[in-house]
Amino acid sequence: MSDQTNPGETETDFEVGQDNIETQIGPFGLDIHNPVFLISGLAIVAFVLGTLMVPQAATELFNSMRGWVTVNFDWFFLSAGNLFVLFCLLLVVTPLGAVRLGGVDATPDYGYAGWFAMLFAAGMGIGLMFFGVSEPISHYASSVAETAGTAESWAPLAGAPGDAAAAAQLGMAATIYHWGLHPWAMYAVVALALAFFSYNRGLPLSLRSAFFPLFGDRVWGWFGHMVDVLAVLATLFGLATSLGFGASQANAGLNFLFGIEDSSGTKIILIIGITAIALISVVRGLDGGVKRASEINMVLAFLLLIFVLFVGPTADLLKGFFSGIGAYVTNLPALSNPFGRTDANFSQGWTSFYWAWWISWSPFVGMFIARVSRGRTVREFIICVLLIPSLVCALWMTVFGGTALSQIVVEGYTGAQDAATELRLFAMLSELPLTQITSAIGIILVVVFFVTSSDSGSLVIDTITAGGKTDGPMPQRVFWCVFEGLVAITLLLGGGLAALQAMAVTTGFPFAAVLLLMCVSIWKGLSAERKLM
């Protein structure tokens, strides 16, 4: 085995899949890691059965779990988020940024267009559709209210009571904060760790591999098993949260357009139907399924963005993009401050939830980005994964949220502000031309983002539970795709979106500590690689 005194610079004789169980059940072949697959599967089955058997008790438990974590550990989430951003920016400006993922002669597997489409669709899709209109106007409404700054207020910082222009700027700054550098830094940390240790060190494409410089061959034991199990659970519940948001918004859109009943039953039917579509994409594989669906989504999203930009208050939106970025930079120190906050509802109810949600998504998005990022330098990787998507998210929020804010402040139309959260996008579009067409495109975008998230999530979870193998038998991917939909349905039945959010927060909390340790391991591994170069 490898020398334990300096595992950051040595190799291991561990072989990918050496602990796997390969068997045949009827016509289906299995190639699963022992015991990660078994523990993860049993834990999820027990969770599903328990929630369905006692839904009322499950609802109360979920709500108390979310409240306890976000109230008591908001400082931890905010501090960790700041450290991830600083760590990524440090890699860009140091010589470690010159390290190439896959070795000095490696070339990218995908061009910029396909690469960016896949990482963006996996990382932010449904969330942008759900919160693009809702979040800016929520922050605006709480900031402009006369009660802003009180203990009961949900306004960011102290709000701007009675000042509509200042409240709109503050609302946009808070939104960009939640969708900008911090979440993408979390994704970048996990993705970089997986890509580097897999492509440059020949280790399995699994979360445990990221800790080899710190623990050596011990990562192949129970420490590694627990890291991978935690990654599976965090991924599954993070995905289930997004699938719940997607089903709620698709249902609201169908109700808005066609009068289809907005109910739990309809949401469940939607999840089943879209999961079935995701299964087709799973069978088609990474290039034929996820890549194609991601590119379709990027085209549709771009068309909808351009339409809203040019039929909305174009000049104000373009000006608002730059002023929003400026407001974000100006307010960033206060928004990211982990201690002494007087806006507890905002920092705990908004930021803590978001950071836990992003962290619970990080194994899924990180591994997916790693799989499509061979051949990039660390500097190129960080810039493209961190800075460019942050700017695109800021533009999206400015166009959709800014249009809704203009309707409220300039036109006096409060339909979007008064609508339910999942209906706000369609209420905003109702004041623009071609409402039926743009609303239909919005529903299609939600559905296809749903499919790409479910599909790529299945690929990632299967890779983890197959010991790092990326070409496991098809039935395993189908199993996890079905389970993602089943968990989303279970959580909706056991407490709705609150239950979905609670499980994302609860699984994201312990994984935040894993990501912090991962930063140390990445630095150690890249330093050793730089010396070899």
Using a pLDDT cut of 90, give the percent of the chain over it.
41
Q: CB under 8 Å to 280, separation ≥6 — which residues? A: 289
Q: Which two structure tokens, joined as six digits, stand for 244?
A: 């719940």
Are 376 and 112 within 8 A, CB to CB? Answer: no
- Convert the pLDDT of each residue in 203-257 to its tens digit: 888 889 999 999 988 888 888 999 999 888 888 877 777 777 788 888 889 998 8
H or E stretch covering 24: strand 20-25
When the pLDDT of each residue in the chain is averaged and rounded to a whole number, the result is: 85
Residue 108: closest CA among 456, 388, 454, 384: 384
Measure Cα distances from 411 to 7, 136, 405 in Å.
63, 17, 9
DSSP string, 118-177: HHHHHHHHHHHHHHTTHHHHHHHHHHHSTTTTSTT---STT--TT-HHHHHHHHHHHHHH
pLDDT value, residue 367: 81
Q: Are 121 and 306 in contact (CB under 8 A)?
A: no
DSSP letter for each residue of 412-464: ---HHHHS-GGGHHHHHHTTSSSHHHHHHHHHHHHHHHHHHHHHHHHHHHHHH
* Range ranked top by mean pLDDT from 15-19, 181-185, 233-237: 181-185
Q: How far apart are CA 505 and CA 350, in angstroms?
A: 11
DSSP structural state of residue 384: I
What pLDDT score does 360 carry? 82
How many other CB atoms are there within 10 angstroms of residue 531's CB atom?
9
Amino acid at 215: F
Q: How far apart are CA 421 and CA 139, in angstroms?
A: 13
Q: Which of 184, 183, 206, 210 is nearest to 196 (CA)?
A: 210
Instruction: Tell me the pLDDT tens digit for each residue of 112-155.
Output: 877 777 666 655 667 788 899 999 999 999 999 999 989 899 99
Question: What is the crossing angle of helices 134-144 and 388-409, to 10°?
Answer: 60
Quote the CA–CA distance of 80 and 57 in Å, as a whole number. Answer: 32
Query: How far are the Cα atoms of 38, 206, 371, 469, 516 from residue 33, in angstroms, in the given order?
Result: 8, 11, 19, 9, 26
Which tokens in the block code for residue 467? 């010991």
How many residues belong to the chain? 533
Tell me which DSSP letter residue 100 carries: B
Q: CB neighbours of 266 closer than 8 A, spacing ≥ 6?
A: 251, 254, 260
DSSP H or E run through 32: strand 28-33
Grade residue 5 by pLDDT with cuts at 50, 70 and 90: very low
**By C-alpha distance, which of 4, 196, 32 is closest to 100?**
196
Identify whether the C-beta of residue 341 lies closer than 8 Å to the C-beta of residue 79: no
pLDDT range class, residue 381, cuts 50, 70, 90: very high
**φ and ψ at residue 110, rounded to 5 degrees:** -130, 150
Secondary structure class of 377 (helix, strand, coil): strand
Higher pLDDT residue, 28 or 76?
76
What is the rounded end-to-end Cα distance, in angstroms, of the chain? 25
Check pLDDT > 50 for residue 2: no
What does the pLDDT average to over 412-430?
92
Give dist(CA 44, CA 283) in Å, integer.
23
Mean pLDDT across the stretch 361-368?
82
| Residue 530 to residues 11, 329, 343, 355, Cα–Cα distance (Å) | 16, 33, 44, 32
Q: Residue 6: pLDDT above 50?
A: no
Q: Average pLDDT for residues 407-427, to the nearest whole number?
A: 92
Query: What pLDDT was estimated at residue 3?
Result: 38
The tens digit of pLDDT for each residue in 74-92 reads 999 999 999 999 999 999 9
Q: What is the dihedral of CA 62, 124, 471, 383, to 10 degrees?
A: -130
For residue 16 the two structure tokens come to 């990918």
pTM > 0.85: yes or no: yes
Helix (H, G, I), strand (E, B) or coil at 20: strand
pLDDT at 97: 94
Using left for φ > 0, alpha for ψ between -120 and 50, and beta otherwise, residue 145 falls in: beta
pLDDT tens, residue by residue, 286-328: 555 566 776 777 788 889 999 999 999 999 999 999 999 999 9
**Cα–Cα dist 35/31, whole Å:** 12
Residue 352 has pLDDT above 60, yes or no: yes
Q: Give the pLDDT of residue 454.
A: 78
Taking CB atoms within 8 Å and a gap of at least 24, the contacts of 154-157 are: 154/345, 154/346, 154/349, 154/350, 155/343, 155/346, 156/331, 156/335, 156/343, 156/346, 156/350, 157/331, 157/334, 157/335, 157/343, 157/346
Structure tokens at 393: 């998210």
**What pLDDT does residue 282 have?**
74
